[in-house]
Structure formats: C-alpha cells, structure tokens
Structure 1
Amino acid sequence: MKQHVFRWNAIAAACACWPLAAAADEVRGPMSVVVVSATRAEHASFDLPASIDVVDASQIGDTQPRVNASEALAAVPGLVARDRQNYAQDLQISSRGFGARSAFGVRGVRLVADGIPATMPDGQGQAATFNLDMAERIEVLRGPFSALYGNHSGGVVQLFTRDPKGPPSIETSFAAGSDGLRKTDVNAEGRSGGIGYLLDASRFDTDGYRDHSAATRDQAYAKLSLEPSATSRLVLTASGLRQDDTQDPLGVTWATYQRDPRAGEIDGTDPQTPKRTLAERYDTRKSIDHKQAGLSWESRFGPDRLQVTAWGGNRRVIQYQSFSRAFQAPASHSGGVIDFDRDFYGIDANWRAVRELAGGTLRATVGLELARSSDARQGFENFLGDSFGVKGRLRRDEENEVTGTDPYLQLEWERGKWVFTGGLRHSRVKFDVKDGFLANGDDSGSVVYRHTTPLAGVLYRLTPTLNVYASAARGFEAPTLNEVFYSGSGGGFNFGLEPAVGTHLEAGLKAMPAPGVRVNAALFQVRTRDELVVDSASGGRTSYRNASATLRQGGELSLDAEFGAGWNARLALSALKAVYDEGFGAVPEGSRLPGIPKTSLYGEFGWKEAAGRFGAALETVANSRVFAEDTNTATPAPGYAIVNARVQASQQFGGWRLRQFARLNNLFDRGYIGSVIVGDTNRRFYEAAPGRNWILGASARYQF
C-alpha cells in the first residue's frame, strides 16, 4: 500500500507541472544561468558538458528558516540531502549514491564555501558550517566533472555568499515553528569607495522532534571585499559555528520506530530503570566549536587571470557515545568519549589563460591545491564509578596528521558548435599517526594514497536552444581518518585499506524548447572497485573493509518553467540502480547499496505576483524505499511522498522592506523514516522524520 501511495503522489506532482507545455507561448523568456564550479571561471551552464544545477537565493531563504542545506537541495536531481533530526551528526548528503553510507557528517561529496573547502583533506566534511543566511546561490555539480575536485568528489556542493553592495543596510529576521524551533538572525552590509562589508550573526534553538534531540547553534560570518585596482580584487572571510551539548537521539530498531517514531531505544542492560533509553543513560551529546578564516585574491591580465585562495581554522569536538558496559573492559577499546582538537589550513592557486588556437578559443587552467589537518585526539571511557555520560579513564592519546597535495590542469577548446573539455588531477593523500597511549601497543604508522584523475568531455550545439554532450572520468575515494581507526582483527589502525576507484560515464542534453522553459536530462554509469563498507561494529568501534565491485546506473531529469500571469513549475526526477556487481562474504551479487533510494522526485507548482509582493506554492517530495545494510535482509525504510505548502508576502515603505512567510510541511501528516544509519550492527538503523509541522517567519530590512 505504501508503494502505491508513493507512486500516486509522484504522478500527481508530475501532473501539477504539466500545464507548462500548454502555456509555452506565454512564457517570459529563456533562463540564463552562469556557474563557476565546473570550470573555475564564469560559464553559462547551458554550454557545459556536465550536470550542474543552481539553487538561487530565493529558493534558499525566502520561505525557509535557513537552518539546514537540505531545505534548499531537495529540488536538485541526483542529490539526496536528508535532515536526520539529529544536529549532533549533521546532514546526510549523497550524489548519485556517493556518500550515502556516511554515519556522520558528509563523505563522498566535496563541500566548498566561497572557494574554501568545507571538506577536510581526508574527505570528511560538515554541511553545518555553511552560512545559509548570506547565501547568494548553491551550485551542485554531479558526474564526471566533479572528479576534478579530487578525493571524495562523487559530487560537489558549492555555496557562494552574496557580495556586499549598495548603501549601508541592516536586517533582522525571526522564524518559529513546531518542536520549539526558533531562529534569529541579524546582518548588516554596505559598499562605498571600492570597499564592501557583510556581517551576520544568528542563533538557532530546537527542542527536537525526536526524544533527546535538543540543540542550540550559534553562527557568525564576516566578509570584506576590496578592489585595489580595476583589475584586482581581494576578499576576506571569517566564520564561526558553536554548538554546546547538542543531544544525540541515536537510531532505533524497527520495532521501536513502529511503537513510537519519536522514542529512543530502551537500554535493556539497565535493570534499575528499565524504561530509560540508551541516549538518556549515557547522555549522548556532542559539542562543536569551529572557527575559520580565508582570503581570495584575483588579478586579471586582459583575458587571463591569477587566483589564490588560502584558509585556516580550528575545530574542537567532544562527543559522548553509548554502548554496553560489557564492552568497557578490553584494553584495546578507545572509550566512549571522543575528544579532539584540529587545526587545518591550505592554499589553492591557479592561473587561467585564454588564447586563440586553430580557429577556436582555448581556455587553460593550471593550479595546485595543498591542504593539511592536524588532530590532537584522545578517547576516554564514558563512565566514572557508577555514573554514565561523564569522562572517565584515558583509553586513547594520539596525534593524527592528514596532508593532501593536488596539482591539476583543465582545458577547454571551443570552435563553432563544438566544445571540447579535458582535465587531469593528481591527488596524493598521506596519513601520519603518532600513538601516545601504549597500554594496548604502539599503533603509530603512516600510509599514502595516490590517484590520477583524467577527464574528457564534448558538447555539440545542435540548435541555439538544444545542446547534447558526453563526458567520462576516473574518480577515487580514499578512506577517511575515521575509517582507518580500527582493523577488523581487533588491532589498531587499518593501514591496509585501499581507495575505491570508479569510472564515470555520462551523456545528456540541455534544451530550452520554449521561452522560459528549460529541460536538462542525463544518463550515467559508474563502475567502482574496492568499495569501502562496514566490516564489523561492536562496543562503540567500527572497522571497514574493501568490498567487491559496484555498479551505479541511472538517469536524471529536471524541468523549470515560468509562464503567464506569474505561474511557475519545477520538476526534478532521479532513477538510480546501485548494486554490488560481485558478491562478497554474506552479501550476494545484485544486492542494492544501502542508503540509496531507487527513485526520487521533487515537484513544485507555484504563483508569484508580478511585483513580487505575494506568492504561494505546493511542493511534493517523494523517495522510494531504502535498504539499511548490505545483505538487504533488514526491513528497509519504506518509500514515502509528502506535500508541503508555503505562502509569502513582502512590502516596501520608504527605506523599509518587510517580508513574511508561512510553511506547512508534510501537509497530510504522513509517518515516514527520514534517514537510515547504514550498517549499524545493533540494527538501530532508523531515524524518524516529523509529521505535520509548521514554520512562520518575518524579516525587516532598512537601507540608509
């Protein structure tokens, strides 16, 4: 029955978008989108042999609280961004299936903000560091072109904050909603005499939809832009994120989810309080203090350009986990409290030259990216005496360093109706471990992962409004630092893990069949060897192994349209077959990769008054079922489809601009699982999503 609900809602969303065909004669004009992610320079996305979508500022902020990137990314085909209702573990983001098995944070997908990586050199990133309040747009790059960003680039999600402009202004906004959601933001900006500034500070609070999931998040951001000359520009940025004692509700078993989607898993080892959950007993929580700064310098020499970006920062994390006391005894155990202090920094310098060659135009970019992170990492038992959820005896003490060195070259030659693209990037990732806790042996050591990524692409302009293209690349994913922490034999670091290497192929078309209507379609295939999967997980420690070959095949379709009287529609449809191409262990050939829906759909039908004073829309989000582990024997998270409604309004009174919005999410109060924790040995895979919930927001901006 649930599968039928998914199909009918998906069909309804598609039908909602269908009137655009009949209204094609009334549309306003073609939509031109300029991006930089694929070529590192301004380029019309319509003329790139790559799958790339842009989420603009209105989609990010007009009718959203701007808390999670998943709010804005739902409309991007091929990308799955899940709000886990758990701010201790961040979002789950996967691109064409890459990154779906991440237990926390984002891996397999590269995150970038204002040209500065939000992904560490080992491949683990944090989407929570994105400042959505100041976002101008988010570019999402998928397929072969993303491989040119190196390690863990199954896709690229790049955020760009707005450039300060105009006379000085100040703005404040407030949003409130279900489950104690509250978000307050204050920002100021202005520009004069070639100097622009942007300042922002916000606080977000929630009681949480799930038990033991309350969170408070403080963010700050500053941007200073200078133009020393007519051909040069300097941009300085600084940002901070702080979350103190963010509660972790953990995953639950299927039986617990069916009993109560909000409930935590009962701790069956606690006879004194038999109804207390694991999260309550161990007071599972996480505190984060993240600060970073960066600069970007750009100089133009006629058509040529030099760009240098440098960054540095510090990330401090302490996390209290849960596991049975039975596993506390072994001396090899690292404990249930993770405590690390990380310094990170890097530089990316590139030169872009434009020359006439053989009757066409050649654009060449050559660059070098260097990045390094250094952790002072300790582990402690998460009990002391008879008290749980407190820092106990030391069980781990080490220094971890990860360095990345990536030279790269990208070429584009355009002549007439043809555009040829080529690229090459060599990635070298080195892990160094110095073990200072020798009671369980010396786990010091190092390992180096290397890979050269080639790219080739071609685009042909069949007509001024129809382009076809094809591209191919070789990408790779080295193990992250967390994935080499343990070996399955019970020893220390698993330096024997190999990187996963994949061959990416894509073919597609981009069309504007009528004024104001744009269609993108792509077919793709990725064959990967040495996929990294969970080997064993018990007593708070997880080890990984290299599995067999995998196959990802699928297609994506996106459609955007604007037509008469302010009506608009959007459709994003994805289909993905992701399977193990060879069996391994207890996993048979043909098993589906966990955490990846076979089909996903986003549909939107809306209206906006010509002057922009009023607007409303209906949205449909639908996903097919998702398996939670490699053998596909555990109960999969069922497919679902939900409908959201939103309205907005704005007014102008002299120097004041006022805005309001209201959202009603999950209009029909569907119960569903929003995300799964892949491969959890305790079978606590499931993380429930909210039923019907509301958000109200308002802002006031004054320009002097």
Structure 2
Amino acid sequence: MSQSPKFPFVRTTLSCLIACIGQQVYAENEAQAVQTLDTIVIEATRTDRDVMSTPASAYYLTQEPQKGMNVNLSETLKGVPGLQLNNRENYAQDLQISMRGFGARSSFGVRGVRLYVDGIPATMPDGQGQTSNIDLNSLDHIEVLGGGLSSLYGNSSGGTILTTSREGQGNDSITLGYSGGSENKGQANVVLQGGAKNANEPSYILSSSYFDTDGFRDHSGANKILSNAKLTWDLDDGSKINWINNYVKIEADDPGGLTRAQWKENPKQVVGNVTKYNARKEIEQVQTGLTWNKPINDQNDIYAMVYAGQRSVTQYQSTPKCAYVDETDICKPNTVQLGKKHAGGVIDFDRNFYGTDIRWTGKEVLPNLKLIAGVAIDGMSEERKGFQNFIGDTQYGVKGELRRNEDNTLWNLDPYLQASYAVNDAVNVDAGLRYSNVHFKSEDHYITKDNGDNSGKNDYQKLLPSLAISWKILPELMAYASYAQGFETPTFTEMAYPADTDSDQNFNLKAAESDTYELGLKSSNMLGDFTAAAFYTKTQDDIVAAASDSGRSTFRNADQTVRQGVELSWNKNVWRDLTAQASYSYIDAKFDADIPEILDKDGKVTVAEIPNGNYIPGIAKNQAFLSLGWKPENGLRAGVDVRYSDKIYVNDGNSDAAPSYVVAAANIGYNWTVNDWAFNTFARVDNLFDKDYSGSVIVNDSTKPIGRYFEPAEGRNWSAGLSVTKAF
C-alpha cells in the first residue's frame, strides 16, 4: 500500500520561513530600506515573468568572465538546489545530470531531464540528451526549471535546462584565448562578434575551440572541436530572427569503472579489458536551427522554431569476447559476445533529427488573461549497427563481425496550451495542458536462426495537466502551490535489451507517470534573494536499471517510487562587488513497493528483488553549496566555493555506496582594458584539499564477479588562462 503525501516537515519549514522572512520585510518597510534589485525575466515557463515571481523552482545563472577551462557544463552550473551534476572524468560519456532524482539511472548521456540550446532541443523525442554541443565560450546565461511544471516540455521532463548564447553587440571584436591545466589539459579558442551596423543587418557571434587532455585516469585522453555561430536580425517590423549553427567532434578514450578495491588501490588505473579492447568513442554532430519571434500587434505574438541535425557515433566498448575457464585462456562457449544473441562490443549509428515548435501568445485576450497555444513536432531516424570488437584471436579493439543491424524511427506531435490569469494584484493562476505522444518503430535487419526478428513498435501518450497558484503576500514575499503530472517514456537504448533474458525485445516497457505537489516561497529583500520549495512526487512504473553486464544495460518498471524533499537557495550582493551564494537540497527517494525478482526459464535469478523502502541508487540525499566571490567589472577578482554531497548508493540492493565528500575550489583573476584592447586572466585550483572521492557511479553495474561501480574524481588540479580581445 502506498503512502499518501505527508508534509509535516514541509509545513514546519515553510511556516518558519514565512515568519522569519515576513518579520524582516516588515522591518525593512518600517525603516524604508528595502533594496531595489534588477529584474531578471525567465523564459522557461513561456510567461515572461520575473524569476522571483515565477511559481516554480526556477533559477537563472549568468555566465561570468572566464574563471575555468570552459569545457564542461559542471564548471558553470553550480549551486542549483535539487540539481545533481557529476563529472565522470570520462569524455567518452556525458556528465551525469539528475533533477530531484530523475535521470540518476543513466550510465551514459542524459535521461529524465530536457535540454535546450538556444531554443533548440538537445534531447531526442525519447528522452536521450547530451550536453556536448553547449559552448561555454559564447554562453550568455542558463535557466533551470525544476519540479512538476517541467511537464510543460512534454516527455522526460523531470527538469529542464535551457542555455542561451550571447548575441553580438557593439563594435566588431576578436577574442583569442588559451587555457591549460593539470593532466596536460589545453584549450585554444577564438570568438568573433559584432552588433548590427544598419537596420535589418545581423549581429553575430562566432566561436570555435579545440580542447585536448591526457585525462586524469589511465586511458582517458580526449580531444574536442566545438564551433558555434549565432546570427541575430532585429527587423523593422519588430520581429527577431536567430540563426544558430553548431558543430562538435569528440574523440575520447573510455576508462570505465572500478571496483571499490581497485579504486582504493589506485584511482587512476583501468581494468585489463579497457586497454585490451581499446575502449573509446568517436562523436560527430552538426545542426542548424532558426527561431523567429514576431509581434503581430500589442496583444498577439507568434513564435516559430525549426531545426535539423545529424549525429554519428562509433563506440568501442570493453565488453570481452567471452568468459574464460578459471585460471585459463580458454573461452567458455556461448558466453558474452560469443553468445547467440549478443549485439557485439562496437556500437555504430548515424542519426538524423529534426523538428519544429510553433506557438501563439495572446496578451489580454480577456482582462488580465494571457493565453499560449502551440504545437511541438520532433523526429529522429537512425541506422544502428553492432559489431564484435575483435577479429579472431589476435585483433582486439577493431570492428569485427556484424551482430546488430536495425533502422529506428521516432517522432512526437505535442499540442499544448497555457493560461496565466491575474485574479488581482496579489493572486495569479497559471495552468498548462500538453498532450505528449511518442511513437517508436524498429526494423530489424539482422535475422539468423539464433537471433529472431526483433522488429517492433510502440506508442506512448499522456495528457499532462499542470496548475500553479501564486500569492504575493507582501511586495517582497511570494508564496505558491502547484500540481503537475509528468510522463517519461523509455529510450531506444533502454528498450534494446530485455531484462528478461528469455524475451527478444523490451518494447513492453511502460512509460513512467508521475504526480508532483509543490509548495514554495520566494523573497527579495535587503537580506538577499531567498527561495524555498518543498515537493512530493509519486511515480508509477518508474523506469529503473535492472542490470548492466559487460556493456549491456537493461531496464524494467518499478511499481511505485516516491521522491520528496526540500530545496533552499540564497544569494546576495553583500558589499560593493562581494557576492555570496548558498543552497541546500534534501531528497528522500525510495522504492515504495516491492519489485519482484526476474527468473529465466531454468529458474535462475537474472535480476534480484528490490525491497520496499530501499533508496533509489545514484541520488545524493543531501547536497549543499556555498560560494563567495569578489566580482568587479574590471580589476582583481577572486572566489572560493565549497560543495558537499551525501553518499550515493550504487545499486538497487543498497549493498554499497560512494561515500559522502566535501570539496573546495578557489580562483583568482585580473581583467583590464587599454583603449580598444581588453585582457582577462584567471588561475584556479579545484579539489583544493586533494580529496579522494568517487565523482559518480555506474548504477547497477553487474560486471562479474564484483560490480565496477566507481568513477574516481580527479585529485587536486589546477588551470590557468589568458584571453585578449581587440575591438575595431
């Protein structure tokens, strides 16, 4: 029997916050000393509201002058409560991103969290996403939308992250930069930009960089080419066009995970199969997109977005050819890649993706009512093949015999409606409704007597309502309550291998469906900007990892899971150019019903039972962040930040966990201008106290005999850089 929502800790927390903040606001009003802060409008909810008036867990982060290598999103996206962002120290895999526990199961790429780059989806219709094409050198800001209202974006919306590039402005300029650091890290970059000179001419920003590193661990070297171009037209009729082009190419070795004993013995090491099969990944992606925004009149706007791209991936895994007879080099027949249904140790696919989003916004359709109506269409087609990663008994880490060959297609057509109604000056009601539907089809072309036809298709659909009510208790204090339904389909990758080894295809996986309740407070006053949110999410048929064995990850549905917690944040301009930021999040994420074991036809347990009450792996129960920075526009700047993460269970059985840790970082820099020249320098030390910790875990890895769950983080490391800008 599932538990009903319980909020005693929520009520207590929010009551205390209301009392404390309210007393402070009254005191400020009496003293007439309320500080006026700049208004930041957030676009994530499409209602163009001040971030402190948005009835959701919404955050806005401005990209600061460079104070790090500008390679990983984890350098910039810090201190957002509820957001867990782990660096795997593995450029062959993406960052591990989860929001309120959604997405934590992913052993590679991003799941459960929607990603957008300049308004263009970086997440496929089935929920697979990647951050590799986000260019930090031309980034302007990031918006993060957490909680139930992320269902405004449809499938796989445990949270939404939207990144926006800068627009060219002012005189033409060129910026040349170089930064380097530990493990032979190096990045060279160039940025060209300029504002429009005449009406109907574009402003532009063109950014390109090359990064390479030897990697912290053995066999973890990588290089990356990233280019981003954005042209912006502000036309005489009031419309605005952005044309965005992006190219990324990555070649990276894959060090894989370690057992606890291996990690403690030497965190830099890799297992023998990694080098024997030369585990690595090659990625190349190009995409283009247009956004167009036109005001028809004072009450009506039209927005349209269209995009297309192509992505190619070849990945050589460390999956062994076979299991060996103990203490011999004799292969056991029909084991691992020699198994009759194994798809091989090389993944090779070419993917085309495309889509559009068109919407109308009507202001004052009725008095105090804003309406938004739109439709989002996205599609993907790919040719996916699998090969053995060996030829005979002498060649390893090469493309061998074909073991998988399929064509996959995927599309969605999601109409949506939103309404925002101001009941009076203090109360506002926001509602949303989206019909999310995702259509899968796979055509199998690798059919043998031992490997049957695994073709299949499935359709998922769900009506996603959301409702939020906000109340401005005082001019500086707002409270809100919201409810939303969420929806997450399995990805093609998660359906590739069945958890039941006697089954051919995992097209019987169900979509996860969730209900989220949230209460929140926001206040902006002389003590800074405060936010507090308490949430409760119940999910039916949650998609959870079943096992990960020698490169084959399988998934199944959990009857019910529950996530509940509290998120707090605070930031303030303390004095002159001194700023402070702090955040804390608590997430209690558990299985809320027993999940039975899975047996094969011989009665052998292939996937273990998960008892009711076990903690969902990959999720830190407590996280905290604190930073202090001196940030003048010119001159000396410096900062320190400290991050705490609670222990993270590595599997559903909670048999082991990556320990909790505290890490600190410090940076210093100096920027100055001389006539048309501008100079920016920085030096930085991360993991200041050389903490030995596991930066992320491979959830439910079942490599025999002991799972290789742990991905050790880099020890104390440094970076430094210089950039020079010349304006013309």
TM range (shorter): over 0.9
Instruction: State which of 93, 110, 114 in structure 2 corresponds to 1:106.
Output: 110
Counterpart secondary structure, 2:151 = helix
Task: Report if the CA contact (8 A) 1:573-1:599 is conserved.
Answer: yes
Q: SS at 1:107's partner residue?
A: coil
Q: Which residue pairs with 2:309 in the alignment? A: 313
1:81 aligns with 2:85: yes
The 1-side partners of 2:576 and 2:143 are apart by 29
Which residue of structure 1 aligns with residue 16 of structure 2?
A: none
Q: Work out which of the residue numbers 324, 338, 341 in structure 2 matches 1:332.
A: 341
Aligned twin of 1:95 = 99
- Mapped partners of 1:156, 1:343: distance in 2: 23
Residue 304 of structure 1, CA deviation:
1.4
Residue 28 of structure 1: CA displacement? 6.5
- Range with greater deviation from structure 2 (198-207 or 319-328): 319-328
1:23-172 alignment runs, 5 A limit: 29-38=36-45, 40-58=46-64, 61-172=65-176
| Residues 113, 160 of structure 1: 8 Å contact kept | yes
- Following superposition of structure 1 onto structure 2, how do residues 663-674 of structure 1 map, counting pairs within 5 Å? 663-674=684-695
Q: 1:627 aligns with which of 649, 656, 662?
A: 649
Q: Which amino acid aligns with 2:403?
A: R
State the distance in 2 between where 1:239 and 1:127 align: 12
CA deviation map 1:56-85 (0-9, x unaligned)? 021xx5212110111111211110111100
> Do 1:418 and 1:459's aligned partners in 2 also have CA atoms closer than 8 Å?
yes
2:75 and 2:246 map into 1 onto residues whose CA distance is 21
Deviation at 1:441, TM superposition (A): 1.2
User: How far has the Cα of 1:298 moved from its partner?
Assistant: 1.2
Give yes or no for the alignment of 1:297 onto 2:292: yes
Residues 647-666 of structure 1, C-alpha deviations (whole Å, 9 max, x = no match): 12111100001011111111
Q: Which residue of 1 aligns with 2:726?
A: 702
Aligned to 1:228: 235
Deviation at 1:31, TM superposition (A): 4.1
Aligned residue for 2:488? 477
- Please report how far the alpha carbon of residue 32 of structure 1 lies from its aligned counterpart in structure 2 after TM superposition: 2.3
Tell me which of 274, 277, 285 is aligned to 2:280: 285
1:495 paired to 2:507? yes
Does the 8 Å CA contact 2:518/2:533 hold for their aligned counterparts? yes
Alignment correspondent of 1:601: 624
CA distance in 1, matches of 2:141, 2:273: 40
Match of 2:523 among 497, 501, 511: 511
Match of 2:420 in 1: 412
Q: Using structure 2 for the length normalisation, give the TM-score.
A: 0.89
CA distance in 2, matches of 1:328, 1:111: 34
CA drift of 1:41 comes to: 4.5
Write the letter of the residue equivalent to 2:690: D
Check conservation: 2:390, 2:400, Cα contact below 8 A: yes
Deviation at 1:489, TM superposition (A): 2.5
Given candidates 423, 430, 435, the residue that maps to 1:426 is 435
Flag the structure with more relative contact order, 1 or 2, with Cα contacts below 8 A and sequence separation at least 6: 1
Q: Are 1:392 and 2:397 counterparts?
A: no
| Secondary structure of residue in 2 paired with 1:662 | strand
CA distance in 1, matches of 2:444, 2:470: 52
Change (3 A) 1:541 1:283: same
After superposition, the C-alpha distances for 1:513-544 in whole angstroms (9 at most, x for unaligned) are: 316x1101100010001111223433432221
Percent sequence identity over aligned pairs: 38
Q: TM-score when scaled to structure 1?
A: 0.92
- Cα pair distance change 1:443/1:63, threshold 3 Å: same
The answer as to 2:436 corresponding to 1:436 is no
Q: Which residue of 2 aligns with 1:350?
A: 359
Separation (CA, whole Å) in 1 of partners of 2:167 and 2:265: 50
Alignment of 1:202-241 (within 5 A): 202-241=209-248
Shift of 1:565: 3.7
String of CA shifts for 1:460-488, please: whole Å, max 9, x gaps: 00111000001110001100010111212
Structure 2 residue runs without a partner (length 5+): 1-23, 323-335, 597-608
> Distance in 2 between the 1:33 and 1:591 partners?
41
SS at match of 1:484: coil
Partner SS state of residue 276, structure 2 = helix
Q: Aligned partners of 1:401, 1:523: CA distance in 2, in Å?
A: 39
Deviates more, 1:684-693 or 1:485-494: 485-494
Q: Residues 546 and 700 of structure 2 are in contact (CA less than 8 Å); yes or no, is this contact kept in structure 1?
A: no
Deviations 1:364-413 (A, max 9, x none): 11000001100111110000012110000001111000111111001101
For residues 363 and 623 of structure 1, the distance between their equivalents in structure 2, rounded to whole angstroms, comes to 41
May I ask how many residue pairs the two structures share in their alignment?
Answer: 662
CA distance in 2: counterparts of 1:346 and 1:128, whole angstroms: 20
Match of 1:647 among 668, 676, 690: 668
Q: Specify the alignment match of 1:17 in structure 2.
A: none
SS in structure 1 at match of 2:689: coil
- Unaligned ranges ≥5, structure 1: 1-20, 266-276
Between 61-70 and 372-381, report the one with greater CA deviation. Answer: 61-70
Query: 8 Å contact 2:315–2:348 — kept in the other structure?
Result: yes
Distance 2:577 2:288 in 1: 42
Q: What's the secondary structure of 2:132's corresponding residue? A: helix
- Kindly indicate whether the alpha-carbon contact (under 8 Å) linking 1:197 and 1:225 is maintained by their aligned counterparts in 2: yes
**Pairs within 5 Å for 1:529-568:** 529-568=540-579
Output the amino acid matched with 1:329: L
User: For the Cα contact (< 8 Å) 2:273–2:320, is it kept in 1?
Assistant: no
The alignment's C-alpha RMSD in Å is 1.5
- Name the residue aligned to 2:601: none
For 1:221 and 1:605, locate their aligned partners in 2 and report how far apart those are by CA, in whole Å: 31
- Are 1:583 and 2:594 counterparts? yes
Q: Paired residue for 1:18? A: none
Structure-1 separation of matches of 2:351 and 2:576 = 54
8 A contact 1:485–1:492 mirrored in 2:
no
